[in-house]
Amino acid sequence: MSKARIIAVANQKGGVGKTTTSVNLAAALADTGAKVLLVDLDPQGNATTGAGIDKRALEATTCELLLREAEFAQIVQRSPENYDLLPGNGDLTAAEIRLMDESGREQRLKQALDPLRERYAWIVIDCPPSLSLLTLNALAAADSVLVPTQCEFLALEGLTAMLGTIEALMKRLNPSLQVEGIVRTMYDLRNNLDNAVSADLQAHFGERVLRTVIPRNVRLAEAPSHGQSIIAYDRASRGGIAYLGLAGEIVRRRRERKKTETS
Ligand code: ATP
Ligand code: MG
């Protein structure tokens, strides 16, 4: 039985809070004392920056991991917040192009992460804003996909289409992939549209919509410029409380899932 649960944080839409969710979820899970690995699979390298690591000074990144040009031990970095990081930067674009012609190109990340399952309780993968080969690698490697979304006009249509596409793609690549949940981000309680779209999402996706709502909170936007998660930067802020809550909810759901599997 594998120990780690691997969660890909994905949405092909840009700017919905994938990286904010990846970094803060990793930090909040590590805050419980669990062993956590954060994987930056986005050439933008924002999760790397947010984890307090300089993305320009890296000798090896997730790029070399995918291309099998470096070992995990040569790539992994330690964040000051007690989790490990497989950093990413612009080199990932080159990795993607070079992988195009390789056989088994969608399974490279899975092959690299599976042997690490014994070492970690949680592996969180930050994906780029596309359903590119990099994201396919994340979804093929993952046990579940966590989908951050803003409650804006057409969010329901966008999510339905994307989850349909993921399901179709994963029939071949990873049939057991679960939906960890849809997490509402940058939520403004005073905004009627946010509330209306949120109600639509709950009506349509039911239990797949996580209870925790991430509010729009300027502290969440500030934290990365200090190379910190919200947990280190301001854990008592509304954003900090929300991400600690999200981690708690995901831990609880995992425990409950295990119970039903064994009963
Ligand atoms: P991309 O698709 O480019 O990778 P993303 O989905 O990873 O983007 P983020 O980078 O996490 O999105 O967030 C986009 C912007 O919104 C960032 O500037 C981030 O700091 C800000 N942001 C994210 N979540 C919140 C929030 N809850 N409150 C306020 N600002 C937020
Ligand atoms: Mg991002």
Residue 9's alpha-carbon distances to 21, 104, 201, 237, in angstroms, are 8, 22, 18, 23
What is the mean predicted confidence (pLDDT) over 172-201? 96
Average pLDDT, the chain: 96
At 1, the pLDDT band (50, 70, 90 cuts) reads very low
Instruction: Report which protein residue has its CA nearest ligand 1's atom 24.
Output: 17
CA of 130, nearest ligand number: 1
Query: What is the tens place of the pLDDT at every residue in 18-47?
Result: 999 999 999 999 999 999 999 999 999 999
142 Cα: distance to centroid of ligand 2 (angstroms): 18
Instruction: Report which protein residue has its CA nearest ligand 1's atom 28.
Output: 216
Query: What is the tens place of the pLDDT at every residue in 216-235?
Result: 999 999 999 999 999 999 99
CA of 233, nearest ligand number: 1
Atom of ligand 1 nearest to the CA of 223: 20
Atom of ligand 1 nearest to the CA of 129: 2
Judge whether residue 98 has pLDDT over 90: yes
At 92, the pLDDT band (50, 70, 90 cuts) reads very high
- Rounded Cα distance between 33 and 31, Å, is 5
Query: What is the tens place of the pLDDT at every residue in 120-144?
Result: 999 999 999 999 999 999 999 999 9
Judge whether residue 53 has pLDDT over 70: yes
For the chain, give the percent of residues with pLDDT over 90. 96
Going by C-alpha positions, the residue among 107, 180, 208, 143 that lies closest to residue 4 is 143
pTM of this prediction? 0.97
Residue of 12, 19, 194, 237 best suited for mutating to test ligand 1, as the one with most atoms within 8 Å of CB:
19
At 261, the pLDDT band (50, 70, 90 cuts) reads confident
Q: Decide whether any atom of ligand 1 lies within 6 Å of the 241 Cβ.
A: no
Q: Decide whether any atom of ligand 1 lies within 6 Å of the 184 Cβ.
A: no
- Rounded Cα distance between 132 and 108, Å, is 14
At 2, the pLDDT band (50, 70, 90 cuts) reads low
- Rounded Cα distance between 103 and 106, Å, is 8
Judge whether residue 260 has pLDDT over 90: no
Instruction: Report which protein residue has its CA nearest ligand 1's atom 17.
Output: 221
- Rounded Cα distance between 247 and 94, Å, is 33
Residue 100's alpha-carbon distances to 86, 110, 133, in angstroms, are 22, 16, 8
What is the mean predicted confidence (pLDDT) over 93-112? 95
DSSP string over the chain: ---PEEEEE--SSTTSSHHHHHHHHHHHHHHTT--EEEEE--TT-HHHHHTT--GGG-S--HHHHHHTSS-HHHH-EE-TTS-EEE---THHHHHHHHHTTSTTGGGHHHHHHGGGTTT-SEEEEEPPSS-SHHHHHHHHH-SEEEEEEE--TTHHHHHHHHHHHHHHHHHHH-TT-EEEEEEEEEE-TT-HHHHHHHHHHHHHHGGGEEEEEEEP-HHHHHGGGGT--HHHHHTTSHHHHHHHHHHHHHHHHHHHHHHHHH-
Q: Which residues surround ligand 2, an ion (CB under 5 A)?
A: 18-19, 46
Judge whether residue 148 has pLDDT over 60: yes
19 Cα: distance to centroid of ligand 2 (angstroms): 4
Q: Decide whether any atom of ligand 1 lies within 6 Å of the 87 Cβ.
A: no
- Rounded Cα distance between 167 and 127, Å, is 17
At 99, the pLDDT band (50, 70, 90 cuts) reads very high
48 Cα: distance to centroid of ligand 2 (angstroms): 10
Residue of 9, 12, 20 best suited for mutating to test ligand 1, as the one with most atoms within 8 Å of CB:
20
At 263, the pLDDT band (50, 70, 90 cuts) reads confident
